Amino acid sequence: MIGRIALGGGIATAATAGVGYAIARRLTAPVGPRTFDLTVRGVEHDDRGELIVLDRTEQTTAPGIYNLWFENGGWAQLSTEILDRGPSRVARRVTGTTSGFTPRASDCASWSGIYYATPADAGIHARYITIMTPAGRCPAWRIDGDPATWAIHIHGLGSTRAGALRGVLAAAELGYTSLVVSYRNTAEGPRVGTGRSTLGDTEKADVDEAIGYAVRRGAQRIVLFGWSMGAVVALQIANHPRHAGLIAALVLDSPVLNWTEVIKANCTGSGLPATVAHLAIPWLTVGPLARTVGLPGRISLHSFDWTARTEELTTPTLILHGTRDDSVPIQLSQALRDSRPDIVELETFDAGHTLCWNTDPDRWQEAVTAWLRARIPH
pLDDT digits (tens, 9 = 90+) for 288-315: 999 999 999 999 999 999 999 999 999 9
Nearest Cα to Cα of residue 236 among 322, 301, 167, 140: 301
Contact assessment for residue 70 and residue 108, using Cβ atoms and an 8 Å cutoff: yes
Residue-level pLDDT at 241: 86
User: Any idea where the domains of the chain sit in the sequence?
Assistant: 41-106, 119-274+295-373
Residue-level pLDDT at 222: 98
Q: Is 119-274+295-373 a CATH 3.90.1640.30 domain? A: no
Element (H, E) at 113: none
Residue-level pLDDT at 366: 98
Cα pseudo-dihedral 243, 161, 270, 57, rounded to 10: 140
pLDDT one-digit tens code per residue, 219-241: 999 999 999 999 999 999 999 98
pLDDT one-digit tens code per residue, 150-188: 999 999 999 999 999 999 999 999 999 999 999 999 999
Nearest Cα to Cα of residue 199 among 154, 156, 160: 156
Residue-level pLDDT at 1: 41
Q: Is 216 exposed, middle or buried (0-12, 13-18, 19+ CB in 10 A)?
A: exposed
Residue-level pLDDT at 14: 45
- If you average pLDDT over residues 204-229, what whole number do you get? 97
What pairing do the DSSP bridges indicate for beta strands 89-97 and 136-143?
unpaired
Please give the span between the terminal C-alpha atoms of the chain, in angstroms, as a whole number.
32
Neighbours of 13 (CB within 10 A): 8
Contact assessment for residue 319 and residue 339, using Cβ atoms and an 8 Å cutoff: no
pLDDT one-digit tens code per residue, 17-32: 488 999 999 999 999 8
Q: Is 245 exposed, middle or buried (0-12, 13-18, 19+ CB in 10 A)?
A: exposed
The pLDDT of residue 9 is above 60: no
Residue-level pLDDT at 100: 87
CA atoms within 13 A on the CB side of 235: 29
Residue-level pLDDT at 15: 45
% of residues, the chain, pLDDT over 90: 89
- Work out the angle between the directed axes of helices 203-216 and 229-238 (0-180°, nearest 10): 60
Query: Model confidence at 2, in pLDDT bands (50, 70, 90)?
Result: very low
Contact assessment for residue 332 and residue 261, using Cβ atoms and an 8 Å cutoff: yes
pTM: 0.94
Q: Which range (33-37, 147-151, 206-210, 340-344) has the least confidence?
A: 33-37
